Amino acid sequence: MPHALFTPLTLPNGSQLPNRIGKAAMEENLAAPGQQPGATLIELYRRWAQGGSGLLLTGNVMIDGRAMTGPGGVVLEQGSALEAFRAWAQAGQSGGGQIWMQLNHPGRQTYASLGGLRWAPSAVALDLGKHSKLFAAPTPMTHFDIAELVQRFASSAQLAEQAGFNGVQIHAAHGYLLSQFLSPLSNQRDDDYGGSLANRARVLIEVVRAVRAAVSPGFAVAVKLNSADFQRGGFTADDAREVVELLNQENIDLLELSGGSYESPAMQGRTADGRTLAREAYFLEFAAELAKVARMPLMTTGGVRRLPIAEQVIDSGVAVVGMATALAVEPDLPKRWQAGEARIGELPAVSWGDKTLAAVATMALVRRQLRRLGAGKASKPEASPVLSLLLDRLRLSRLTKRYQQYLAQR
C-alpha cells in the first residue's frame, strides 16, 4: 500500500491533485523584460512538474506593477499580454499535476530603491534595526485604495484562469499587505478595517469573495495564512484560529499555513520573539491544532526535507505537505521518494551573527539554485553564501534599473 502522501486528493471544487506534495512559493525574481514570465522561469516549472509534485504554487505574482517585492517579479494585471503566462501554465501542468498562481501585494515590504507605491494599513514602518532604511515609510490606505486592491486581486485571478492556470493562492502571510492588515502591530486603524480581529480580517474576506466571484466554480481559490507572525504583540496562533473560522464560511479549496515576516523570518526557521521552532515542519504543531477547526483541506510549509517528516505531516491530519527549499535543491525529490530513494533536499544553513543579513543570504542562495535549474543545470547547494549574496545584489541592481524604466513607461 502506498503511503497517503502518494494518494490523490480531491479538493472542494471537485478537481484532484495526483499526490499530497505541494511545491510551495519561493520568490524567483526571474521575470523577463516587461515583468513577464521568461524562458528560465518556464523551464524551472517544467522541471518541477516533471519531478513529481502534485501541486505547484508559483512565486508571488504582483497584482499591481507599481508595488513589487523585488525588481524581477512577474506582474499580472489588466493589459498584461497572456501568451507567456499560457506557456508557464502549460509547463507547470506537463507532469500531470496542477499549477496555481500565488497573487500578492507587498504593502510596506517594498524596497525603497524600487520606487512605486508603498501602501499599508497604517503609517508604521518596518523595524529591521540598522537595515530599516532599506524600506521607505508606508502610506496609509484610503477606503478607495482598499476597494482598488480588492478589485485588482479579482482581476488578476480572472486573467490567471484565462491563461490556463488551475487556481490562485491569495497571499495573506509573511508580512505582506493582507498580513499587515491582520497584525495589530502594523494595523493601527480606527475605522472598520482596524481594531477587532474581525475588522482586521475584513480586507482578506473581501478579497476572497471578489476572487471567487470572478472565476469559474472549478477554478481553485486558496489562501496562505500565518499560523503566527512570531513577534511580541503581533498576530497570534489564537488569531489564526479565529481567521480560519471566518474562512470556513467562504468557498476555499486549500488553506496553506506558514509563519513569519521580514521582521521575524520564521519561514526560514528564525523568530523575533525567541520561540524555538521544530528543526523540520516548523509549523506542524500549529497546523495540526488548526486542522481540528478547519473545514477546508490544509497545507503546511516550512523546512520539510526528508520523507519521514513529509509522511508525518500527512499522518497528523494535514492534507498537503508544502516544500520549498528542498525542491530548489532536488526538483525531482517526490519522484525519487516514490521510487524508494531516501533522498534529502537540503541547503546548508547560513548561521551568521547578523540575522537579517543571514536571511537575505539564504534567499540569495535559494534563488541561485532556481536560476541554475531554470538554465537546465543541476543545483549547487554547496555554493558560497557570501558569493551568492554578492551575485544576487549585482543582479538585483541591474533588475532595479530595468524595473524603474518599466515604471517610467507605465
CB of 59 closer than 8 Å to CB of 100 = no
Residue 199 has φ and ψ, to the nearest 5°, of: -70, -40
Quick one: pLDDT at residue 264?
Answer: 53
Rounded Cα gap, residues 349 and 359, in angstroms = 10
Are 235 and 179 in contact by the 8 Å Cβ rule? The answer is yes
Strand 119-120 vs strand 55-57: parallel, antiparallel, or unpaired? Answer: unpaired
Instruction: Let me know: does 321 contact 349? Beta carbons within 8 Å.
Output: no
pLDDT along the chain (410 residues), means of 10: 89 98 96 97 98 97 96 97 98 98 96 91 82 83 98 98 98 94 94 97 98 98 82 76 95 88 53 50 76 93 88 93 95 96 88 84 93 97 94 95 95
pLDDT recorded at residue 281: 58
CATH superfamily, domain at 4-409? Aldolase class I (3.20.20.70)
- Cα distance between residue 334 and residue 356, in whole Å: 31
* Domains in the chain: boundaries: 4-409
pLDDT at 277 (0 to 100): 44
Task: Supply 177's cell numbers.
Answer: 499587505
At a CB cut-off of 8 Å and minimum separation 6, what does 330 contact?
51, 336, 343, 345, 379
Q: Which of 375, 334, 401 is CA-nearest to residue 95?
A: 334
Nearest to 56 by CA among 70, 43, 71, 46: 46
- Say what the pLDDT of residue 266 is: 47
Q: What is the value of pTM for the model shown?
A: 0.94
b/e burial code for range 113-133 (CB count within 10 A of at least 16 → b): ebbbbbbbbbebebeeeebee
Task: Indicate the residue type of 16.
Answer: Q
The residue among 236, 229, 321 whose CA lies nearest residue 280 is 321
List the grid coordinates of 19: 499526490
* Cβ(187)–Cβ(181) below 8 Å: yes
Angle at alpha carbon of residue 243, lines to 224 and 291, rounded to 5°: 75
Amino acid occupying residue 11? L
β-strands 55-57, 21-23: how paired? parallel
Contact 295, 255 (CB under 8 A): no
Separation of alpha carbons 314 and 387, rounded Å: 37
